Amino acid sequence: MHAERDYVAGLYTRLDAERERVRGEYQAALGGNDLGAMERDVRVRALSREVRRLDVVDNGLCFGRLDAVSGETSYIGRIGLFDEENDHEPVLLDWRAPASRPFYTATGANPENMRRRRQFHTRGRAVADFTDEVLGRPIPAQLGGAGGSSPQECFREASGDEALLAAVNAPRGEGMRDIVATIQAEQDEIIRLDHPGVLVIEGGPGTGKTVVALHRVAYLLYTQRERMERHGALVVGPNPAFLDHISRVLPSLGETDVVFMTTGDLVPGLHVTAEDAPEAARLKGSRKILDVLAAAIADRQRLPAEPVPIQLREVTVRIDAETAEWARQEARDSGLPHNEARAVFTDIVTYVLTERAMNRIGRGWLRRDDREEWENFRAELLKDLTADQAFAKALDELWPILTPETLLAQLYSSPERLRAAGADDVLARAEGDAWTVSDVPLLDELTDLLGRDKTADREAERAAERDRRAKAAYAAHVLDNLIERQDVDEDVGLIASDLLDAEDLADRFVETDTRTLVERATADRDWTYRHVVVDEAQELSEMDWRALMRRCPGRSFTVVGDLAQRRSEAGARAWGSMLDPYVAGRWVYRSLSVNYRTPAEIMAVAAAVLAEFAPDVRPPESVRASGVRPWARRVTDDELAAAVEEFVRDEAGREGTSVVIGPPDVLGAVPASETKGLEYDAVLVVDPDRILADGPRGAAELYVALTRATQRLGVLHRNPLPEALTGLAEVPAPVR
């Protein structure tokens, strides 16, 4: 035991030294001027990433050891550490390294050339004890602990399930925990799966599909670091509470270049404030809405009802319907997005108007064979036309610059525009800009359909160029002063001679962009990721998938879900219907069948509900029983509040977490949809009959509610229990 404690303590000493070294290099890079701005930014970001990686792996740095038949010993941990003085030999293997895999996959029947697996149990930075699992044929001499201590002092001989059961039985704390020390063989196979496309992981409640997906991201970031580190990974979850719940897992594994979002966050700066009715959400989620969006844009590309007069010099020329129609067709045929195609529309209209004006004004005094004179005259007319307010107004009416928000808000709030776009009346609403989650992929689509306002882009480019020139001019002034002082101060002259030119000096004045990858990616709608995880993927619509595919051109996804838990009318009924339009033949399916969260007593109750609405789906098999039977109690309206308070009060005195799930009018209750993917030691479900009655997917909602508990489940009901729950043990109210 002493030897193991000393070894792990030495690992922490190395970790602390590495932290100090990297922090020092990071501070030096921030203030250094020996590199150009771009190179400096790259170095600062790389060191910042390494600082964060080293800062988050303190807890459980080393959690195991492998002893090979050959006599070689390897320690397994969250990150890799090396002995710099001994030919860079590993003193701690990263759990993702190929050599670490037997720690998760070796068994007594298939030891993979290993003779022992040791799992450490730590408190803070110290090893408290450990358990040993002997692989293959045990040899008594092998069972002693390190350093010659007696076996009884050092270890408990364990089965392969002991560490797992200890983990799943432990009270829940704040947020999801990683499973790096207890990954099971079926999970490890999925985590390390070598597949470049889309991996679908399906599993019922408690099968660990979310945490497996997160460990897969950590594995990919480790094995494909060079490919992934500049763009990072994206994790998409159903709601902010879920993202907060899982957000600690990847940092605990040393990975911080991961962005967490809901689908409502995909458009930076947009705030979702409303919720769609099911039918509206279904229509917005369907690919059929693309026709509506295209028609809504086309409806804004107008022809004048009457010719629009434009005063040009001493003549009046007109934008008539024939001219506008020609210009509109040319602009549409260009294939450019709406805002960019406006330049084509403008060019055609401008050409027609200037030709008409030139023919009328120049007749009699401009010679037909003097091409230069005609071109000069055309340039003057173009300048006049560009400055003409009536012409600008006409362009804005016939081919306006549009933003996604403006177009969609005006579409929703105008029955006339909805009809013109062939849209269903269920999309109509009084507040057009009261955005819903279902609007986000539409706004994202419109960003590409409309394109950018090139005029604004050109102005931004001109401003950036003016700023660059100003810095170069200032740098040139500094350089001149240094050179003038060369005769006075030789050292100053040496500095001046080292500078290449004014632009090189100006580059040193550029501020280093110290934003993390997460900060930069979150603020940039056009950011693309190397890998995307989609959790609760059964809830995503066809339009949601379009938005996500746009963000991952390489089509590298880990998709996590359970079709039986689908709630959204726009969600997936089959994985192929969502994925085949993008990755036909490039997606593979894996399932998880073991329930690590829900004890058998509770899963039996949930399975009865599952059988009611998805009889073909087999519930996951629980690895354990808790010995605590789920209960139900019937209460009156007057008794309900007190019964809920009693549950909350009792659970407050226990270690772990608890939640009340029920309809929104039940004090202190949260809807089942907000608990998807979460887990609690104790769950109280209120009015299950009302949850069942809430829409066509009410049964799936109840199934979710019942499977959140890891230890204890209670049900309060005012009406008779639904038939699927009649097997619950009815308990009387406590005697006061």
DSSP 3-state assignment of 528?
coil
Burial class (CB in 10 A: 0-12, 13-18, 19+), 148: exposed
- Residue 226: other Cβ atoms inside 10 A: 6
Is residue 262 a known part of a binding site? Answer: no
DSSP character string of 448-498: HHH---HHHHHHHHHHHHHHHHHHHHHHHHHHHHHHHTTTT-HHHHHHHHH
- Residue 727: other Cβ atoms inside 10 A: 12
Is residue 175 a known part of a binding site? Answer: no
- Decide if 309 contacts 393 (C-beta within 8 A): no
DSSP code, position 32: -
CA-CA distance, 252 to 466, in Å (whole number)?
45
Is residue 254 a known part of a binding site? Answer: no
Is residue 432 a known part of a binding site? Answer: no
At a CB cut-off of 8 Å and minimum separation 6, what does 688 contact? 702, 705, 715, 717, 721, 722, 725
**Residue type (1 letter), 207:** T
Is residue 316 a known part of a binding site? Answer: no
Is residue 662 a known part of a binding site? Answer: no
CA-CA distance, 32 to 48, in Å (whole number)?
15
- Residue 36: other Cβ atoms inside 10 A: 13
DSSP β-bridge partners for residue 631: 714, 729
CA-CA distance, 662 to 671, in Å (whole number)?
5
CA-CA distance, 687 to 661, in Å (whole number)?
9
Torsion of CA 362, 366, 369, 375, to 10 degrees: -70
- Residue 289: other Cβ atoms inside 10 A: 22
Is residue 422 a known part of a binding site? Answer: no
Burial class (CB in 10 A: 0-12, 13-18, 19+), 180: buried
**Residue type (1 letter), 111:** P
DSSP 3-state assignment of 155?
strand
CA-CA distance, 260 to 41, in Å (whole number)?
24
Could you tell me which of 541, 522, 456, 549 has the C-alpha nearest to residue 267?
522
**Residue type (1 letter), 669:** A
Is residue 207 a known part of a binding site? Answer: yes
- Residue 333: other Cβ atoms inside 10 A: 10
- Residue 211: other Cβ atoms inside 10 A: 21
- Decide if 254 contacts 692 (C-beta within 8 A): no
Q: Where are the alpha helices (DSSP H) in 174-288?
A: 185-191, 209-223, 225-228, 240-246, 249-252, 278-285
Q: How far is CA 256 from CA 133, 235, 595, in A?
A: 33, 12, 29
Record the tokens describing residue 37, joined without a space: 């701005």
Q: Where are the alpha helices (DSSP H) in 117-224?
A: 151-154, 162-169, 185-191, 209-223
- Residue 641: other Cβ atoms inside 10 A: 13
- Decide if 427 contacts 280 (C-beta within 8 A): yes
Radius of gyration of the chain, Cα coordinates, nearest whole angstrom: 33
At a CB cut-off of 8 Å and minimum separation 6, what does 100 contact? 66, 74, 76, 93, 94
Q: How far is CA 564 from CA 213, 239, 243, 538, 713, in A?
A: 19, 19, 22, 9, 21
**Binding-site residues from annotation:** 203-210
**Binding-site residues from annotation for ATP:** 203-210
